[in-house]
Amino acid sequence: MKKIYQASNLERAETELEAFREKWKEKYPAMVNSWTRNWDHLATFFNYDEHIKKVMYTTNSIEGFNRQVRKATKSKGALPSERALLKLLYLVTQKVQKRWSPPRSWNRVLSTLMITHKDRLRIQ
């Protein structure tokens, strides 16, 4: 799948999708069918600049956030209430936000998005 979404253009991605389909159709038919059925929607990904695509498919920020949540909740045997859990998650989120740093190409990504999606983007 990595070869598909890291392809340099739509034609290359379609070639990689076909190779993926041939290799995995027997072992993972549902996944292959899902990609094939939804290709028209997935292919819009290739309309974006290379830096935007990388931000879209990179999950490092999400994984880091999940790691911090696990770290905070792992040490707790049980919490006294749902409210206590929500408070803990809120505090973890605040801590992570303070330390979050955007990807190196973020200024370029943001500039491009402000031009292409100005009606849908609000900067604070």
Check pLDDT > 80 for residue 122. Answer: no
**Entry pTM:** 0.59
User: How far apart are the two ends of the chain, measured CA to CA in Å?
Assistant: 35
Q: Confidence class of residue 124 from pLDDT cuts 50, 70 and 90? A: low
Would you state the structure tokens that stand for residue 49, as one six-digit string?
């600049």
pLDDT tens string 56-88? 877 778 888 999 999 988 888 788 999 999 999
What distance lies between CA 116 and its chain's CA centroid?
20
Q: Cα–Cα–Cα angle for 12, 17, 20, nearest 5°? A: 130
